[in-house]
Amino acid sequence: MSSPARTPVLTSVIGGARVAAGPRPYRSTNPSRTADTVAEVSLAGAADLAEACRAARAAQDAWRDVPPPVRGQVVAAAGRLVEENKAALARVVTREVGKPYAEALGEVQEIADTCAFFSGEGRRLYGHTVPSEMPDKELFTYRDPVGVVAVVTAGNFPVAVPSWYIVPALLCGNAVVWKPAEYAAACADALYELLAHAGVPGGVLNVVYADGPETYQGLELALGAGLVDKVGFTGSTEAGSRIGELCGRHLQSPCLELGGKNPMVVAADADLPLAVEGALFAGFGTAGQRCTSLGTAIVHESLHGEFLRRLDEAVRAAPVGDPFQDVLYGPLIGERFADGFEKVLGWIGPGHTVHGSPATGRITAAAPRAGFVGDPEAGLFYHPVIVDGVGPGDELFQREAFGPVIGVAPYRTLDEAIELANAPGYGLSASVYTRDPATVFRFRRRISAGMVSVNNSTSGAEAHLPFGGNGRSGNGSRQSGVWVLDQFTRWQSMNWDHSGRLQKAQMDVRTV
Ligand code: UN1
């Protein structure tokens, strides 16, 4: 009898110790070869999540007393370890969530960049001295850690996006409980190990593998028991609104980074080849599974036909398939993403014209794609789709697709384009292709988006600019750069009167 191949069994880490495998097994598979098991995961329950928050609470006391520059050194060490293990970590990302290897390397680089930025922040974490309205009185402000941060993340950016929360939260002196996507558990485990090796103490970072229902219940328990001070969540708009509701009941404002229906406006004076290249990457890179992926290209009517012709040609020529090869995109991340995308394809209606591929749906031997790299039948590979003629009456225009599909709509005036761009009510990322500064600034002012790109793709944010959205894309919170410090610290003010008298604010103010 041959013994079955051994795959790792991943268990949660609470208070620095691996918990015993429990009764809820989960199999994380490779979306390029679904028969390949990447990890067996032992899912925890709601009570375990609350327990992890309790462990975090206990560990935070000592961590908050570590001077910020020393916490910065731990973050710097983490960044070095991530760089040293860049290829290995990127391979796990490509194998477990199907992201092309070149993109996975970029994703890992984003963690190193985040660590580089925040290690320095350990030496800054500034407060202020503020002038008082009274003599011999000093005013100060200080940043204090919030306490315990619960981080719940999706698996499309299984290591970089979690690091946007974990790294600054730790630097600011918080303890963290991280609930990664269970279908990206091997990625999470690899990142956890690197952070632990860098010197993050046990209990200061906890990892809990759990499914959706147990996570909500666990958060409810922990929030109710006063064990969580901030929730950071990246995922769908629907899940984000549930998390927001939970937090609101406990007077907390979470950091929410949700979906997008990101528009690209191609003005009449645009550099057309550049716009087509941008649409190809933004729409189909990562198989459209970024929150910043392109949703609808809104193209000036004078360029509409030519834009479509060129984009169709570029999409048809792009290699798709095995993400370890040089491809534009690989598989959808997992079965639930494939099911979701099948529904999205059902939104294509009689008023639409489809371009980009000979077929829509799964790429198979019966519905092949020329130049496919690898074995299409082995994984969750989908044809790219360009749908022309979408408008505000269409679900495809209004809702996030999270797959390799974009809509195209023509426009006449800039104001009409901006109205179309804002219509779905998201507000994450938006781009405009033009050579005219007046168009750029009018677009920037009027567009409801946290991030605006000019002559560039909607996706591909840098790690030190504020990242986040408005409307259905989030609650206005921002990650990255110095702006995220406001998520993970609270301001405390202090006044110190050394006049030797009771000076009453507002009442004892001297005039000249
Ligand atoms: C996400 O999909 O949740 O701007 C984040 C980008 C990436 C981050 C996307 N750096 O496309």
Q: Please name the residues in contact with 402: beta carbons below 8 A apart, sequence gap of 6 or more.
A: 259, 288, 289, 293, 337, 340, 341, 344
Picking from 429, 445, 448, 427, the residue whose alpha carbon sits closest to that of residue 437 is 445
Q: Specify the ligand 1 atom closest to the Cα of 156.
A: 2
Cα–Cα distance for residue pair 287/458, rounded to 1 Å: 14
Query: What pLDDT is attached to residue 509?
Result: 81
Predicted confidence (pLDDT) at residue 476 exceeds the cutoff of 90: yes
Q: Specify the ligand 1 atom closest to the Cα of 110.
A: 10
Predicted confidence (pLDDT) at residue 480 exceeds the cutoff of 80: yes
- What is the Å distance from ligand 1's center to 401 Cα? 15
Query: What pLDDT is attached to residue 18?
Result: 97
Predicted confidence (pLDDT) at residue 261 exceeds the cutoff of 50: yes
Picking from 306, 332, 327, the residue whose alpha carbon sits closest to that of residue 317 is 327
- What is the Å distance from ligand 1's center to 250 Cα? 29
- From 286, 291, 484, the mutation candidate for ligand 1 (largest count of ligand atoms within 8 A of CB) is 291
Predicted confidence (pLDDT) at residue 63 exceeds the cutoff of 50: yes
Q: In terms of C-beta density within 10 A (0-12 exposed, 13-18 middle, 19 or more buried), how is residue 498 classed?
A: exposed
Average the pLDDT over 463-484 and give the result. Answer: 96
Number of separate helices (H) and strands (E) present in the chain: 15, 20
Predicted confidence (pLDDT) at residue 489 exceeds the cutoff of 60: yes
Q: Specify the ligand 1 atom closest to the Cα of 291.
A: 2
Average the pLDDT over 480-507 and give the result. Answer: 97
- Compute the radius of gyration of the chain from its Cα atoms: 24
pLDDT in tens, 380-414: 999 999 999 999 999 999 999 999 999 999 999 99
- From 456, 459, 465, 473, the mutation candidate for ligand 1 (largest count of ligand atoms within 8 A of CB) is 459
- From 292, 337, 458, the mutation candidate for ligand 1 (largest count of ligand atoms within 8 A of CB) is 292
Q: Helix (H, G, I), strand (E, B), or coil: what is residue 498?
A: coil
Q: Helix (H, G, I), strand (E, B), or coil: what is residue 295?
A: strand
Cα–Cα distance for residue pair 260/455, rounded to 1 Å: 19
- What is the maximum span of the chain, computed from C-alpha positions, in angstroms? 96
Query: What pLDDT is attached to residue 7?
Result: 83
Query: What's the chain's length in residues?
Result: 512
Cα–Cα distance for residue pair 34/413, rounded to 1 Å: 47
pLDDT band at 282 (very low <50, low <70, confident <90, very high): very high
- What is the Å distance from ligand 1's center to 188 Cα? 17
- What is the Å distance from ligand 1's center to 180 Cα? 16
* pTM beyond cutoff 0.95: yes
* Paired sense of beta strands 137-145 and 489-497, if any: antiparallel
Query: What pLDDT is attached to residue 31?
Result: 98
pLDDT in tens, 51-62: 999 999 999 999
For 146-300, where are the E strands, in sequence order?
A: 148-152, 175-179, 205-207, 230-234, 255-257, 262-266, 294-300
Cα–Cα distance for residue pair 408/356, rounded to 1 Å: 12
Picking from 205, 197, 208, the residue whose alpha carbon sits closest to that of residue 79 is 197
Query: What pLDDT is attached to residue 2?
Result: 41
In this structure, are residues 420 and 298 in contact, taking their beta carbons and an 8 Å threshold? yes
Phi, psi of 230 (to 5 degrees): -155, 135
Query: What pLDDT is attached to residue 464?
Result: 92
Token match 């199999």: residue?
27
Query: What pLDDT is attached to residue 158?
Result: 98
Predicted confidence (pLDDT) at residue 179 exceeds the cutoff of 70: yes
Mean pLDDT rounded to a whole number for the chain: 97
Lowest mean pLDDT among 6-20, 93-107, 126-140, 152-166: 6-20
Query: What pLDDT is attached to residue 352?
Result: 96
SS3 content of the chain, % helix, strand, coil (to 5): 40, 20, 40
- Percentage of the chain modeled with pLDDT above 90: 96
Average the pLDDT over 275-281 and give the result. Answer: 98
Average the pLDDT over 9-28 and give the result. Answer: 96
For 188-288, where are the E strands, in sequence order?
A: 205-207, 230-234, 255-257, 262-266
- What is the Å distance from ligand 1's center to 495 Cα? 42
Element (H, E) at 128: strand 128-130
Q: Please name the residues in contact with 52: beta carbons below 8 A apart, sequence gap of 6 or more.
A: 12, 14, 15, 177, 206, 208
Predicted confidence (pLDDT) at residue 16 exceeds the cutoff of 60: yes
Q: Please name the residues in contact with 2: beta carbons below 8 A apart, sequence gap of 6 or more.
A: none
pLDDT in tens, 206-236: 999 999 999 999 999 999 999 999 999 999 9
Query: What pLDDT is attached to residue 5?
Result: 60
Q: What lines the ligand 1 site, CB under 6 Å?
A: 156-157, 161, 234, 290-292, 459-461
pLDDT in tens, 406-439: 999 999 999 999 999 999 999 999 999 999 999 9
Average the pLDDT over 373-383 and give the result. Answer: 97
Residue nearest to atom 6 of ligand 1 (CA): 460
Element (H, E) at 338: helix 335-345
Q: Which residues participate in catalysis according to the annotation? A: 257
pLDDT band at 8 (very low <50, low <70, confident <90, very high): confident
Query: What pLDDT is attached to residue 508?
Result: 87
- What is the Å distance from ligand 1's center to 70 Cα? 29
pLDDT band at 463 (very low <50, low <70, confident <90, very high): confident
In this structure, are residues 46 and 222 in contact, taking their beta carbons and an 8 Å threshold? no
